A and B are shown apart, each in its own frame.
Chain A
Amino acid sequence: MTNHKFIDRKILLEAVKGAFIKLNPHSLIKNPVIFIVALGAVVTSIITIFNSQLANVEHCFSIFHFQLSLWLWITVLFANFSESIAEGRGKAQAESLKANRSQTKARKLTDGKEEMIAASLLKKDDIVICEAGDTIPSDGEIIEGIASVDESAITGESAPVIRESGGDRNAVTGGTKVLSDRMIIKITSDAGNTFIDRMISLVEGAQRKKTPNEIALTILLISLSVIFIIAVATLPAFFGYSLKASGLPLSQNLTLPVLIALLVCLIPTTIGGLLSAIGISGMDRLMKRNVIATSGHAIEAAGDVDVLLLDKTGTITFGNRMAHEFIPAENIDLITLANAAQLSSLSDETPEGRSVVVLAKEKYGIRKQDLTKMDADFVPFTAQTRMSGVDIRISGKRKQIRKGSVEAIRSFILNNNGYFPKQTEEKAKELAQMGATPLIVAEDNHVLGIIHLKDTVKGGIKQRFAQLRKMGIRTVMITGDNPLTAAAIAAEAGVDDFLAEAKPEDKLQRIRDEQAKGHLVGMIGDGTNDAPALAQSDVGIAMNNGTQAAREAGNMVDLDSNPTKLIEVVEVGKQLLMTRGALTTFSIANDVAKYFAIIPAIAVSLYAGTSENGVLSVLNIMKLSSPENAVLSAVIFNALIIILLIPLALKGVKYRTEPVTTSLIRNLLIYGLGGLITPFIGIKLIDMILQLF
């Protein structure tokens, strides 16, 4: 995950080697289009060798056939190369993961006795001990203890994370390092099936199954190939007829190498050669964003997702209520209120308490006061009083400053024979209805005002949701808040819909409802109770710091545990599909020019009459130099375009959030029209170069 360079030397060398290894028919047949090219290359090579052995003058070694076979082999190698290079980065990553895994020893605990065994011998439900400095031998759940763990081996993030037994942070991953403390772990997966093992096999592409869309596309490509095989195979019959009609001998009929050249030019080799590279690089792009997909299907589905379920906390809001403003009661000075609020919160170490201090300081310029002078006596929060505060002595007078919920402060005031003002009560109610939390500040027997605590929506999130809406994705906020609070936050964040007072089963039901309406649902979750919803959703991203159950239920794991990642995942999915569409269009559009190169070349002798060139030479609009060069140029172009498009296949077509029609028009202009025109220029250029020799 650290290597963000596009291509490095080592990967390049490996890929070249891989290109040759993949010449093995077993791996070639997985890619039918390229397999056809390989067959063609074999046949042309045999013809070349066979002809050169006939040592008579007419049939001497044919340079043309030799070049043809050479370029056909190059086409196959280029296609293989593209796949190898896409696999390369993953492989390099897998290597380092493997190295990490193989050396690990485990301290297995059997009946209270500790023994050292190799990590690879661990079984499910074994109990192991890990202490500071140990590498965690396998995936598991902490059953006892708390420890800080360095998970950089899988996340690339060096800051340690805390793992503890119980709750949602009890999962540990094999291959990560314990930095401090000691814990007892119950192993949850057999050797060979751990998270790292799965990651290795995923990045290596060993388990890479073709995705549904890839299968459909492959069927299209095979069918197109079949059409072209028929078109080319029947050509000698029509050609023979035309030869007879032109008064030429049948021996001038099209030769097998020329037919193969024509076929290879027509079948969609560009997309056929790059298809698997596109898929692998999709996974790779996710991995760069620290997301591991358990299948290619999940990435594809991500492109289709049109409903996103987002947890409010952590995704949309920071998750902590923060002091937003001070609202003084009647006849109370704002500064007095701010001062009292700060004093009452100084001992409050909760995020809420700290935010009150910060607000008072930043907005009202109140510095921390020297409490020793005041003989301060802190009153901590208790479940009985439900308020906190401080007792201070200013110029000999004892003052009780308190902050707490409306109810708690009311009884505090009434106990002190004070009066709770109606205006404050109404304001508090109003705030509560807006989704905020009001805290009342009181001094002795009178109310000073309200602290407005608010769940803060993350900056920029509204724009993000607006983008999503443009992409055709609806966002649904999930929250445990009451409907009023939820509605207020939903409006502020700009989500399309919300689910308030949501229990885990509500989440699951909501996903089912959306799916029944035909939507594809994406969600992100961490807790064990998220597991059913994650499993039900079409794209479920589990956070790496979540529980083992959640991680297994989702079809992607976000190693950064960043809830907004879902949006990036959707973009990667879309990019992947767009790249496939763009290259398919490009590949098909290319054929037009190739016809204009090859047909006039092979028909040069037909219906010539008294003139030198046949009547179909009119179609030679590129004015290619000779029939042989025309065929060769087309074949060479066909091979080179694969290698030239590898960067595009690996990086993907750029995705922008814009109306689909706009991006469609742009892609059509670039890959459709471009695909139509490029080969005309390319073939002409190659022909000009060939003329030099």
Chain B
Amino acid sequence: MEILRTVLPFTFLLIVVAPFLGNYIYKVLDGQKHFMLPIFGKPEKVIYKLSSVNFSESMDFKKYCLALLTFHFFGFVILFILLSTQRWLPFNPQHVDNMNWHTALNTSISFVTNTNWQSYAGETGLSYFSQMIGLTVQNFVSAATGIAVFAALVRGITGQTVQSIGNFWVDLTRSVLYILLPLSIIWAVLLAGEGVVQNINPYTEAITLEGVTQIIPQGPAASQIAIKQLGTNGGGFFNTNSAHPLENPTPFSNFLELFAILLIPVSLTFTYSKMVKSPGQGRVLFAVMSILFLSGLAISLYSEYQPSEIWGNLSYMEGKETRNGIAGSVLWSEVTTAASSGSVNTMHDSLSPLSGMVAMVNMMIGEVIFGGVGAGMYSMIIFVILTVFIAGLMVGRTPEFLGKKIEAFEIKMCMLAVLAPAIVILIFSAIACCIPAGLSGLNNTGPHGLSEILYAFGSTAGNNGSSFAGLNVHSIFYNILTAVGMLIGRFGVIIPVLAIAGNLGQKKITPVSQGTFRTDNWLFGGLLIAIILIVGGLTFFPVLSLGPVAEHFLLQNGILF
């Protein structure tokens, strides 16, 4: 009952709202008329006027990529300087000190790449200025970048012998102004109404009933949490993220925040249908993502509710907020790892081995189950192209996807995008397993320790940002290694994706015929699931079996870590 009460309204509302939002996003990205234009149309023009970049230019792959990378580079530099000098900057009532270089490096890369991996604690590590001007800005633009890349890719797929895949500046501005900003305003107001703090006061000191002094942190939380959830960023205002009572005070705020994570990623499947002018295409992706999502959720719930003799036949409550309960916590853990958000309302380290593994698998297969805003879609399309290539041959034609021939270049880029995160997870985890700097961060031993390391690199490579939290990552070793992991995980995918967009755009569209391999029916959906699971599974099966799988069987034998 608890499960149904938690899961059903959530899924129902998503399915109702997503098509409308998806259609709206399509209009925004396509430059059509929509109801937000009268409100934000002026500011859009002002922004274009104020900045000196050419907004009417249609960019080919190289220009688009260059614009994107330049923008991110400067975003990174500014954020890095901001974090390293926050002590001398305004809005710092708690007199938080400057961040050390490696944490600042890690944090700026983390927010620029939409990962929001946090090796610092929000309450003690950041000033309000850093939170508002530094992180919140990146929360918006990194999410908007995801949408932009998605739009560019689809333009490449649908374009008939064109060079242009859009204009990065326009995509970025519109995504922020028309999609992320209005939604964030609504969410911020709703959340503040539920009691999420929104001020710039110094921290409050309170004396508890036991007579202990307690410091209650304050800050402009609601506004940042809104975009953190909506933009699948996930970087908490406070250290314990959405398990913190001031970040997530009520059941309704919990629902709102959870809903916000999946809202845009789910809607984008509908946007996709609109963009490729074939309702079936997005529907298949929606179905595939939903099936993978619900299967993961089912496995997690099953293993969490499985009574174990070790703790007197009760379910696993360790590490969970009692007010969220098991279903509420597990649903969140599934949503946040599927959607590349990384915000948490429970301690993932304390999940059962199997649900911990589900969370890891969600990240390892490349964050394609709805995934990050935009990122989930473009990563999924990579798998779609791979599936078309492998299975499409079996209908006796060289593979084509939406009329575009899939050839050597596309396969090269697709495999690069699949390889990049896999390399990070396997090689970096292996390094961490071998050297003392890596092992010293561990809280636990045995297979669980291995899971902690794997999770950390799975989360950074997948640009998720949630952590198992058993691993102490506040060290030069982890700060640097995860930072590199996040960069590879983000741009190691984005650049190949844009290259594919550019290359596909130049190709002719082969008209659909009876002999065409269809990508909009249940058969293709099944194939896609198989390819995702097999490619992901084959890559990570050995290491997963030494980590969570071994732990699971040990647990059944009554051995804990």
CB of B514 within 8 A of CB of A472, answer: yes
CB of B403 within 8 A of CB of A518, answer: yes
Count of A residues near B, CB < 8 Å?
75
B543: chain A residues at CB < 8 Å are 231, 234-235, 238
CB of A303 within 8 A of CB of B397, answer: yes
Among A240, A584, A595, point to the contact of B393 (Cβ < 8 A): A584
A416 to chain B, nearest CB (A): 59
Q: Mark A213-225, 1 if CB is under 8 A from B, else 0.
A: 1011101100110
Among B395, B445, B513, point to the contact of A473 (Cβ < 8 A): B513
B526 to chain A, nearest CB (A): 9
B396: chain A residues at CB < 8 Å are 303, 573-575, 577-578, 655, 660, 663
B433: chain A residues at CB < 8 Å are 237-238, 240-241
CB of A471 within 8 A of CB of B515, answer: yes
Q: How far is the CA of A584 from the CA of B395 in the complex (A)?
A: 13
A282 to chain B, nearest CB (A): 12
Q: How far is the CA of A230 from the CA of B537 in the complex (A)?
A: 14
Q: How far is the CA of A660 from the CA of B514 in the complex (A)?
A: 7
Among B418, B426, B534, point to the contact of A592 (Cβ < 8 A): B534
Q: Mark B153-175, 1 if CB is under 8 A from A, else 0.
A: 00000000000000000000000
Within 8 Å of chain B (Cβ to Cβ): is A340? no
Contact stretch, chosen from B221-229, B308-316, B335-343, B503-511: B503-511
Within 8 Å of chain B (Cβ to Cβ): is A153? no
B517: chain A residues at CB < 8 Å are 660, 664
A223 to chain B, nearest CB (A): 3
A665: chain B residues at CB < 8 Å are 523
CB of B391 within 8 A of CB of A245, answer: no
CB of A660 within 8 A of CB of B539, answer: no
A568 to chain B, nearest CB (A): 14
A473: chain B residues at CB < 8 Å are 513, 515
Within 8 Å of chain B (Cβ to Cβ): is A226? yes
Within 8 Å of chain B (Cβ to Cβ): is A365? no
Among A245, A520, A667, point to the contact of B510 (Cβ < 8 A): A520
Q: Mark B5-16, 1 if CB is under 8 A from A, else 0.
A: 000000000000
A617 to chain B, nearest CB (A): 9
B538: chain A residues at CB < 8 Å are 227-228, 231, 266, 588, 591-592, 595
CB of B553 within 8 A of CB of A664, answer: no
CB of A216 within 8 A of CB of B407, answer: yes
Closest A residue to B416 by beta carbon equals: A223
Q: Mark A658-671, 1 if CB is under 8 A from B, else 0.
A: 01110111011001
B447: chain A residues at CB < 8 Å are 242, 245, 607
Within 8 Å of chain B (Cβ to Cβ): is A212? yes
Closest B residue to A579 by beta carbon equals: B393
Closest B residue to A595 by beta carbon equals: B541
Within 8 Å of chain A (Cβ to Cβ): is B276? no
Interface residues of A in 294-336 (CB under 8 A from B): 300, 303-304, 306
Which of A235, A575, A665, A671 has the most CB atoms of chain B within a 10 A radius of its CB?
A: A235
Majority secondary structure, B binding face: helix
A212: chain B residues at CB < 8 Å are 398, 407-408
Within 8 Å of chain A (Cβ to Cβ): is B549? yes
Among B390, B403, B418, point to the contact of A584 (Cβ < 8 A): B390
Within 8 Å of chain A (Cβ to Cβ): is B422? yes
Within 8 Å of chain B (Cβ to Cβ): is A517? yes
A549: chain B residues at CB < 8 Å are none
Closest B residue to A211 by beta carbon equals: B398
Q: How far is the CA of A672 from the CA of B444 in the complex (A)?
A: 41
Q: How far is the CA of A664 from the CA of B527 in the complex (A)?
A: 11
Among A520, A584, A616, A668, point to the contact of B550 (Cβ < 8 A): A616
CB of A213 within 8 A of CB of B398, answer: yes
Among A474, A577, A603, point to the contact of B545 (Cβ < 8 A): A603
Q: Do A518 and B390 contact each other (CB < 8 Å), given the known contacts A216-B406, A230-B423? A: no
Q: Mark A513-533, 1 if CB is under 8 A from B, else 0.
A: 000111110000000000000
Within 8 Å of chain B (Cβ to Cβ): is A599? yes
Within 8 Å of chain B (Cβ to Cβ): is A543? no
Closest B residue to A599 by beta carbon equals: B545
CB of B415 within 8 A of CB of A672, answer: no
B537: chain A residues at CB < 8 Å are 592
Within 8 Å of chain B (Cβ to Cβ): is A469? yes
A584: chain B residues at CB < 8 Å are 390, 393
CB of B394 within 8 A of CB of A237, answer: no
Q: Do A599 and B429 contact each other (CB < 8 Å), given the known contacts A216-B408, A242-B447, A577-B398? A: no
Among B390, B393, B416, B523, point to the contact of A578 (Cβ < 8 A): B393
CB of A607 within 8 A of CB of B554, answer: yes
Q: How far is the CA of A471 from the CA of B449 in the complex (A)?
A: 55
Within 8 Å of chain A (Cβ to Cβ): is B436? no
Q: Mark B412-439, 1 if CB is under 8 A from A, else 0.
A: 1001101100110011011101100001
CB of B546 within 8 A of CB of A238, answer: yes
CB of B389 within 8 A of CB of A220, answer: yes
B46: chain A residues at CB < 8 Å are none
Within 8 Å of chain B (Cβ to Cβ): is A618? yes
CB of B550 within 8 A of CB of A242, answer: yes
CB of B411 within 8 A of CB of A219, answer: yes
B47: chain A residues at CB < 8 Å are none
Q: Do A518 and B508 contact each other (CB < 8 Å), given the known contacts A471-B515, A599-B542? A: yes
Within 8 Å of chain B (Cβ to Cβ): is A239? yes
Closest B residue to A266 by beta carbon equals: B538
A653 to chain B, nearest CB (A): 8
B323 to chain A, nearest CB (A): 35
Q: Do A609 and B559 contact each other (CB < 8 Å), given the known contacts A241-B450, A588-B534? A: yes
CB of A581 within 8 A of CB of B550, answer: no
Within 8 Å of chain B (Cβ to Cβ): is A541? no
A609: chain B residues at CB < 8 Å are 557, 559
A3 to chain B, nearest CB (A): 27
Within 8 Å of chain B (Cβ to Cβ): is A390? no
CB of B393 within 8 A of CB of A577, answer: yes
B527: chain A residues at CB < 8 Å are 668
Q: Do A471 and B389 contact each other (CB < 8 Å), given the known contacts A213-B398, A518-B403, A518-B509? A: no
A578: chain B residues at CB < 8 Å are 393-396
CB of B429 within 8 A of CB of A472, answer: no
Within 8 Å of chain A (Cβ to Cβ): is B446? yes
A599: chain B residues at CB < 8 Å are 541-542, 545
A242: chain B residues at CB < 8 Å are 447, 450, 546, 550
Q: How far is the CA of A474 from the CA of B540 in the complex (A)?
A: 46
Within 8 Å of chain B (Cβ to Cβ): is A580? yes
Q: Do A595 and B542 contact each other (CB < 8 Å), given the known contacts A609-B559, A615-B553? A: yes
B406: chain A residues at CB < 8 Å are 216
CB of A237 within 8 A of CB of B545, answer: no
Q: Do A220 and B546 contact each other (CB < 8 Å), given the known contacts A303-B397, A592-B534, A607-B447? A: no
A219 to chain B, nearest CB (A): 5
Within 8 Å of chain B (Cβ to Cβ): is A606? yes
CB of A664 within 8 A of CB of B449, answer: no
Q: Do A606 and B390 contact each other (CB < 8 Å), given the known contacts A219-B408, A240-B433, A615-B553? A: no
CB of A518 within 8 A of CB of B511, answer: yes
Q: How far is the CA of A517 from the CA of B512 in the complex (A)?
A: 11
A520: chain B residues at CB < 8 Å are 510
List 17 other contacts, CB 8 Å, given A216-B406, A235-B543, A578-B395.
Answer: A227-B419, A234-B426, A237-B431, A238-B433, A238-B542, A240-B434, A241-B434, A245-B446, A245-B449, A517-B511, A519-B511, A581-B393, A584-B390, A599-B545, A609-B557, A615-B553, A661-B523
Q: List 15 A-B contacts (CB under 8 A).
A: A212-B398, A226-B419, A230-B427, A241-B439, A245-B449, A473-B515, A517-B511, A518-B509, A581-B392, A595-B541, A606-B546, A607-B447, A615-B554, A619-B545, A655-B396
Interface, chain B (partner A; CB < 8 A): 386, 389-398, 403, 406-408, 410-412, 415-416, 418-419, 422-423, 426-427, 429-431, 433-434, 439, 445-447, 449-450, 508-511, 513-518, 521, 523, 527, 530, 534, 537-543, 545-547, 549-550, 553-554, 557, 559
Closest A-B pairs by Cβ, 6 of them: A472-B515, A581-B393, A574-B396, A223-B415, A237-B430, A472-B513
